[in-house]
Amino acid sequence: MNPVMISTIDALLPQTQCGKCGHAGCLPYAEEIATGGPINRCPPGGSATIAALATLLERPVVPLDPAHGVEQERRVAFIREAECIGCTKCIQACPVDAILGAAKRMHTVLSAECTGCDLCLAPCPVDCIDMLPLDQVPAALPASTDPALLSQKWRVRYHARKLRLRSQRDERQLRREALARQQEASASTTNAVRQWEPPSVTLIDPARARLDIAAAVARAAARKAALKD
Ligand code: SF4
Ligand code: SF4
Ligand code: SF4
């Protein structure tokens, strides 16, 4: 596969990372297109993306494949905060880190960063997330409406999130390995202590000792007497 071509195709995709094309993100779909796959499976990109891909790849323009969804105006997620139980499942599902919150705390969506991918809807156990057109989101911050700028921003946010998750995973793995080494070292110290045996002590028999001493004294006296002779 030609990496430059894949990257060029990827840059034409909307980068919502919604998975509606049947891939786990825009880049794998770009890889499929680069190897001759259909160009009409991206509902968020719709007819504009199909036209851009057709021009790049010199292929005919085809209608969006309805099996993958329909084209619609951009919507963003809005959490009905009073109903949120703070389970964090939506944060884990959001591919561009567009949700703020903490365990057992109310969560909120940064509407300017939300790609409208819908991926946070299904995991929410209390169904408190709505998808709304941007102009109907209460207190929404101003956001760009330029599709090219949005897709660039979302691509950066998506890859930044992947890097963050990878580095957190690596850190957890290093901590697990350090803990295992520590436990191994402490187990071998415990074994060494368990296996240690005190040196054997020979008890002295007092009667035998007295006899040995008397014999030694007799031998000394005999040597002295022999010297005098
Ligand atoms: S935005 Fe389009 S290419 Fe990207 S994951 Fe969604 S459907 Fe696939
Ligand atoms: S907040 Fe929901 S809809 Fe918006 S980008 Fe995140 S997962 Fe997708
Ligand atoms: S998944 Fe639903 S309940 Fe859980 S934190 Fe997100 S919005 Fe709140």
Torsion of CA 67, 117, 115, 53, to 10 degrees: -30
**pLDDT (tens digit, 9 = 90+) per residue, 77-126?**
999 999 999 999 999 999 999 999 999 899 999 999 999 999 999 999 99
Ligand 2 centroid–CA 199 distance in Å is 71
Residue 131 Cα distances to 15, 34, 76, 94, 162, angstroms: 18, 32, 5, 14, 24
Domains and CATH numbers, the chain: 3-68 (1.10.15.40), 75-136 (3.30.70.20)
Structure-model confidence comparison of residues 57 and 222, the more confident one: 57
| Ligand minimally distant from the alpha carbon of residue 87 | 3
Q: Cα–Cα distances in Å, from 102 out to 49, 78, 89, 158, 225?
A: 36, 17, 10, 20, 101
Q: Whose CA is nearest to atom 6 of ligand 3?
A: 90
User: For residue 115, how far is its CA from the centre of ligand 2 (angstroms)?
Assistant: 6
User: CB count, 10 Å around CB of 2?
Assistant: 10
Question: Alpha-carbon torsion 30, 43, 149, 76, what sign?
Answer: negative
pTM of the complete model: 0.77
- Nearest CA among 157, 95, 150 for reference residue 120: 95
| Segment 3-31, tens digit of pLDDT | 999 999 999 999 999 999 999 999 999 99
